[in-house]
Chain A
């Protein structure tokens, strides 16, 4: 049975619907998209027995406020913004409740899943909003979020106590070193420079968004400084002439002409995504023997 689940009272800094992203369209210049932290988004869906591709609500930092229009099971994961409901566990919300996220404590991206998943317009086979690519739009106050018509959540006796194990909840303020694969221009960086990259701490800057996270630290000087534009994978660590790396995120460009030192492992990129500006991060080379 379809139902209006939420009304957006405030979207906070940004809010959009995301599913697992769109595959097969990068040769047309369309980014992959999808949740910035797919680890947290996946857990929100798993708590509710949703299919992994069910659309979730992605909120940026604090300030979002949702009015509950219909009783529903939901799950909130990701960044800690002092949510008005318990997080990382299944929660029954009642019509008339408000769910809000007043103050950012740690992390960047918050995920809200509803039983069955949110109904969403699909573009190129995916519900993932990609504002930069003209695919869908960010949510705005007054928007109504619907549950998918085919949503059928089968309650099991233990459902009310279902929560994510502590071992699966990540510390967004003190991440482990992120694993990096060598990039196509690995050899454009001197051995000394590569060593320095892995030896030094990098700081996430505020010039970071769904397209890319800019880091600051030592200056890198690849030779040559530019290449003939070639395909770019999500997670790539590219170094523009300024010498400060940009990690390409999910809505980032599909091609580019800057040398790429490496690529953050997809499993770790979701953790990097949750690192707020000012967070110190380190990288380590994967053992790719």
Chain B
């Protein structure tokens, strides 16, 4: 497994070359390993599509590069066999976004076909990022791939379901954004109010790295 130092006190490991089932399963296994058996001195880890960042407390691990080969070997060895299967979480969506027609036109589809295709796939949460709880969902049907907007919107509402290039995702908080908005979900996938209390991550973030997602079509005004 390749690794590289990333500034003081951190290492970046690359566990896959490209997106796909193998990368997803390996990422889940690594996250589970790091959560359940954290290496000594680790302060934080951040999993992404094909890489994972490990940060260390410099007072405990002054030179992480020295332990990198051992950590790499350990992460190399983990498999998803003993990791519980990724749960499938349902997200209700009203497909009435302002860019639905643009996505349809770009791909020579009807808007109905876009909804049908978008809700037919079970997606993988490869990583959370951009905003708190924003899921990067892989495995978007190639017939729906659509370039980001040339000029991003200054405000995208929380709950907007969108397509950005070859990914789909859900805006978790109101923020600027350049993805094509095709729908909206009433579900709060990130709840800042719950983040006030000493709540467990599960109740603050609806989705976690390693989950799977299915969009369920809801009619307007339903």
Which positions in A face B, CB cutoff 8 Å?
23-30, 121-124, 132-135, 181-184, 228-231, 233, 235-236, 253-256, 263, 265-266, 288
Contacts and interface: CB of A to CB of B under 8 A. Distances in A.
Nearest to A24: B44
**Which of B46, B129, B134, B174 is the most central at the interface, judged by chain A CB atoms within 10 Å of its CB?**
B129
- Scoring A23, A25, A184, A230 by chain B CB atoms within 10 A of each residue's CB, the highest score goes to A230
Contact of A263 (B6, B132, B136, B174): B6
Given A23-B44, A29-B172, A184-B12, A233 B132 contact: no
Given A29-B129, A134-B190, A123 B196 contact: yes
Contacts of A28: 128, 132-133, 201, 204-205, 208
A23 to B, nearest CB: 6
A89 B20 CA distance: 57
B127 interface: yes
Nearest to B65: A288
A288 B7 CA distance: 10
Interface stretch (B49-57, B81-89, B90-98, B178-186): B49-57
In the A-B complex, the 3 residue pairs with the closest CB atoms: A255-B129, A134-B173, A231-B53
Contacts of B29: none
Contacts of B128: 27-29
A121 B193 CA distance: 11
B192 A123 contact: yes
B195 A135 contact: yes
Given A134-B173, A183-B6, A233 B131 contact: no
A230 B50 contact: yes
Which of B5, B131, B195, B209 counts the most A-chain CB atoms under 10 A from its CB? B195
A235 B7 contact: yes
Q: Which of under 10, 10 to 19, 20 to 34, or 35 or more describes the interface residues of B?
A: 35 or more
A231 B175 CA distance: 20
27 contacts: A23-B43, A27-B46, A27-B209, A28-B128, A28-B205, A29-B130, A29-B132, A123-B195, A123-B196, A132-B175, A133-B131, A134-B172, A135-B192, A228-B19, A229-B129, A230-B50, A231-B52, A233-B6, A233-B55, A236-B7, A253-B129, A253-B130, A254-B46, A254-B129, A255-B129, A263-B7, A266-B8
Contacts of B4: 184
Contacts of A266: 7-8
Interface of B: 4-8, 10, 12, 18-19, 31, 43-53, 55, 127-134, 136, 158, 172-175, 190, 192, 195-196, 201, 204-205, 208-209
A190 to B, nearest CB: 18
B65 to A, nearest CB: 10
A134 B19 CA distance: 30
B129 A24 contact: no
A27 B195 CA distance: 15
A29 B131 contact: yes
Nearest to A32: B44
A135 B175 CA distance: 12
Contact of A230 (B18, B48, B190, B195): B48
B129 A133 contact: no
Given A132-B175, A181-B7, 17 more contacts: A23-B43, A23-B44, A26-B46, A27-B128, A29-B133, A29-B134, A133-B132, A134-B131, A181-B8, A228-B18, A228-B48, A228-B51, A235-B7, A254-B130, A265-B7, A266-B7, A266-B8
A134 B6 contact: no
A265 B136 CA distance: 29
Interface centre among A30, A122, A181 (most CB of B within 10 A): A30
A31 B6 CA distance: 17
Nearest to B158: A134
Given A30-B132, A229-B48, A230-B49, A255 B196 contact: no
A197 B211 CA distance: 41
Nearest to B208: A28
A131 B134 CA distance: 15
B129 A135 contact: no
Of listed A229, A235, A256, residue having the most chain B CB within 10 A: A229
Contacts of A122: 196
Contacts of B52: 231
A152 to B, nearest CB: 25
Contacts of A123: 192, 195-196
A177 B196 CA distance: 40
A50 B47 CA distance: 35
